[in-house]
Structure 1
Amino acid sequence: MVNRLKRFLNGPQGRQARARAERMARDPRTQAKVRGLLARFRGGGRKHH
């Protein structure tokens, strides 16, 4: 399983997926969504100001 994942990540499709993930990580809207999900998982979903 791990070897298959390594092969995927080192191949062209894996590089494209990694580049797409990096672009999404830089997007402020994506960051806000992730923060919202993490807040929900941490127990609350309350907005902390």
Structure 2
Amino acid sequence: MALVDKIKRFISGPQGQKARARAERLARDPRNQAKVRGLLARFKGGGRRH
């Protein structure tokens, strides 16, 4: 579980807090939300397209 401990330490540190804040800011952006919805629609679409 060393990897999990490293991740927990990173998240609780100043760099982790900055990364989290940036991720939250990007997640609120409507353009990024549209990109994610488009990707999810492609994966959920089912069937193969050639």
- Structure 1 unpaired stretches of 5+: 45-49
Distance 2:31 2:23 in 1: 13
What percent identity do the matched residue pairs reach? 75
For normalisation by structure 1, the TM-score amounts to: 0.82
State how far apart, in whole Å, the 2-side matches of 1:21 and 1:6 are: 17
2:28 is matched with 26
Number of aligned residue pairs: give it. 44
TM score, norm. by length of structure 2? 0.80
Deviation at 1:43, TM superposition (A): 2.4
Q: Distance in 2 between matches of 1:9 and 1:41?
A: 30
Q: Alpha-carbon deviations, 1:1-49, whole Å to 9, x = none?
A: 11100001001110000000000011000000010111111125xxxxx
| More helix as a share of residues | 2
